[in-house]
Structure 1
Amino acid sequence: MDTNLCPRFEKAMGLISTRWVGLILFDLLKGTKRFSEMEADLPISGRLLSDRLKMLEKEGIVTRDVYSEFPVRIEYSLSEKGKALAPVIKEIQKWAEEHVSDDQTSTEC
């Protein structure tokens, strides 16, 4: 049995398992969001959210669109590469609903 992980698989798992990345991706599956909307939706500090969005943008998973308005409007959305993660995230959600129990969490997502 080959015990070496494929480097691409290992990188992908590292990226997706980075703290808060899964929730950010799950939030963006609902559609384009402004930073303030994401900050309100997620239990994460603005600084950490900004860092994670920059990382995801660098990886080509998230797209950042800047609109020249006053005040400047910045929106985040999933790129095609990010949208390709939708089935993976939905399967993780399905698995969690069926197999993860925690008395402190809601039964609905």
Structure 2
Amino acid sequence: MNPRDDKLCVESIKQIMAIFGGKWSFVIIGELHSGAKHFNELNKNLGISTKSLSDALKSLESNGVVTRTVYSTPPIKVEYSLTDKGRDFEEVFIAMREWGSKWLKEDV
């Protein structure tokens, strides 16, 4: 790889980490790969604080990875799902999981 390509690669990685680098981003994306979820369902399944979940969802939404749909029928419900951009990340997510299975300790 030439120095120009190296620089482009580093810049791309910086941009990707700005989008997906939050502490809970990968966990949330993994949970949403199985389908749309309501906030309370995500909160219960992931076991993280409501503030952390809310902040992470807002970040993922502002980066176009997650979409937030509000249903105004009583009671009002909010549902989160992956956008095309978020679903397109699935192959990377699978590769990371496979790498983790190979190289990380099982007791982690």
How many corresponding residue pairs?
A: 104
- Output the CA distance in 1 between the equivalents of 2:60 and 2:43: 16
TM-score by length of 1: 0.86
Unaligned runs of 5+ in 1: none
Q: Secondary structure at the match of 2:52?
A: helix
Unaligned runs of 5+ in 2: none
List structure 1 segments (4+ residues) > 4 angstroms apart after TM superposition.
none
Deviation at 1:43, TM superposition (A): 2.7
CA RMSD of aligned residues (A): 1.5
Q: Where does residue 23 of structure 2 map in the other structure? A: 19
Q: Secondary structure at the match of 1:74?
A: strand
Q: Where does residue 78 of structure 1 map in the other structure? A: 82
Q: Secondary structure at the match of 2:79?
A: strand
Pairing of 1:1-109 with structure 2 (within 5 A): 2=3, 4=7, 5-103=9-107, 105=108
- Output the CA distance in 1 between the equivalents of 2:104 and 2:51: 30
Q: Secondary structure at the match of 2:105?
A: coil
Identity of aligned residues (%): 34
Deviation at 1:7, TM superposition (A): 2.3
Q: Secondary structure at the match of 1:44?
A: coil
Q: Secondary structure at the match of 1:23?
A: helix
